[in-house]
């Protein structure tokens, strides 16, 4: 997909992504790729684990703290960086000061689980699996691939499934980042044990971006939760605007993927440029 897509077409794309993911999950369950017991960490051949947890990466040290994202494409904008090498990109992020790495593993973003596995083995910071997580088997899959955290999108999950996935993530030692876009989704997120709340300024149904969403919802989050601003952050001014509202953590993708020098762009966003 190389053209821009808007409006109802994006909502349809989201539905297709979720339906496609259900097919992938059904295959995983048929193949019984992982043991059925999901109540403890997978005991065999886990990859290298970072020196700190995903939660610690977002709470320790000076802010702003940036989770830098590896993605080749976007459903709304098509291919972003056709020659992107996930490991090289992640290493540049780490050198530039990123506190954690997010890796898109969904094929609609031209991502794969192999990308996450390769990145997790190469970097020393925590890695977040960004995908459309619908079933506990994807949590086991994420852990074995080297993830330290997983994205859970409130907008595609029932309240019961959201709570189940958040609880099982924590049981496995994976930190869930629960993503919301509205006040109603915020209430559902806060009803789970998840400690990290991501406020996405991009509406997943229209893919329109509004940083005002973050500014409006951030004050509603209790102090015992960690906040991450997602999407729409492209310049130092965006970071400063949201820091004025108390945001300390930022997930940045497109601006870094498109940058000629991701390290330099990170330094700019961090206020060191």
Domain contains 117:
yes
pLDDT the model gives residue 14: 83
Q: Give the CATH number for residue 63.
A: 3.20.20.70
**Structure confidence by residue, pLDDT tens digits, 81-109:** 888 999 999 999 999 999 999 999 998 88
pLDDT > 90: what percent of the chain? Answer: 74
Is 167 marked active-site?
no
Mean pLDDT, all residues of the chain: 89
Is 231 marked active-site?
yes
How many domains are there within the chain?
Answer: 1
Domain contains 44:
no
Is 69 marked active-site?
yes
3-state secondary structure string across 84-126: CCHHHHHHHHHHHCCCEEEEECCHHHCCCHHHHHHHHHHCCCC
Where in the sequence is the domain holding 152, given as residue range(s)?
8-31+52-270
Q: Which residues, including other chains, have CB under 8 Å from residue 122's CB and lie 6 or more apart?
A: 87, 90, 91
Least confident of 38-42, 69-73, 217-221: 38-42
pLDDT surpasses 60 at 37: no
Q: At 4, is the pLDDT very low, low, confident or very high (cuts 50, 70, 90)?
A: very low
The residue annotated as part of the active site, out of 141, 175, 230, 254, is 230
Residue in 265, 270, 42, 68 with CA at minimum distance from that of residue 146: 42
Domain contains 37:
no
Domain contains 161:
yes
Domain contains 98:
yes
Domain contains 124:
yes
Tokens read off for 261: 């020098």
Is 130 marked active-site?
yes
Q: At 64, is the pLDDT very low, low, confident or very high (cuts 50, 70, 90)?
A: very high
Domain contains 46:
no
55-94 CB burial, b ≥16 within 10 A, e <16: bbbbbeeeebbbbbbbbbbbbbeeebbeebebeebbbbbb
What span, in angstroms and rounded, lies between the C-alpha atoms of 84 and 259?
A: 11
Rounded mean pLDDT of 43-49?
53
**Structure confidence by residue, pLDDT tens digits, 122-136:** 999 999 999 999 999
What span, in angstroms and rounded, lies between the C-alpha atoms of 131 and 109?
A: 9
**Structure confidence by residue, pLDDT tens digits, 129-182:** 999 999 999 999 999 999 999 999 999 999 999 999 999 999 999 999 999 999
Is 179 marked active-site?
yes
Domain contains 133:
yes
């Amino acid at each position: 997909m190389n053209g821009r897509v808007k409006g109802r077409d994006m909502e349809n794309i989201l539905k297709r992504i979720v339906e496609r993911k259900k097919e992938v999950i059904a295959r995983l369950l048929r193949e019984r790729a992982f043991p059925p017991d999901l109540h403890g960490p997978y005991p065999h051949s886990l990859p290298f684990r970072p020196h700190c947890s995903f939660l610690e990466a977002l709470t320790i040290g000076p802010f702003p703290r940036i989770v830098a994202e590896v993605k080749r494409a976007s459903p709304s904008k098509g291919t972003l960086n056709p020659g992107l090498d996930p490991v090289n990109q992640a290493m540049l992020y780490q050198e530039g000061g990123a506190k954690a790495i997010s890796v898109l593993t969904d094929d609609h973003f031209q991502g794969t689980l192999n990308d996450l596995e390769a990145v997790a083995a190469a970097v020393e910071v925590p890695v977040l699996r960004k995908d459309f997580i619908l079933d506990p088997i994807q949590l086991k899959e994420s852990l074995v691939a080297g993830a330290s955290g997983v994205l859970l999108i409130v907008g595609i999950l029932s309240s019961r499934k959201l709570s189940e996935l958040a609880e099982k993530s924590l049981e496995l030692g994976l930190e869930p980042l629960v993503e919301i876009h509205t006040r109603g989704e915020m209430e559902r997120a806060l009803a789970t044990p998840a400690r990290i709340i991501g406020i996405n300024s991009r509406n997943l149904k229209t893919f329109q971006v509004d940083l005002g969403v973050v500014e409006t919802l951030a004050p509603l989050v209790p102090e015992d939760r960690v906040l991450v601003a997602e999407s729409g952050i492209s310049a130092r001014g965006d970071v400063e605007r949201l820091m004025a509202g108390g945001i300390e953590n930022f997930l940045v993708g497109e601006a870094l993927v498109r940058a000629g020098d991701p390290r330099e762009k990170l330094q700019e966003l961090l206020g060191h440029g």
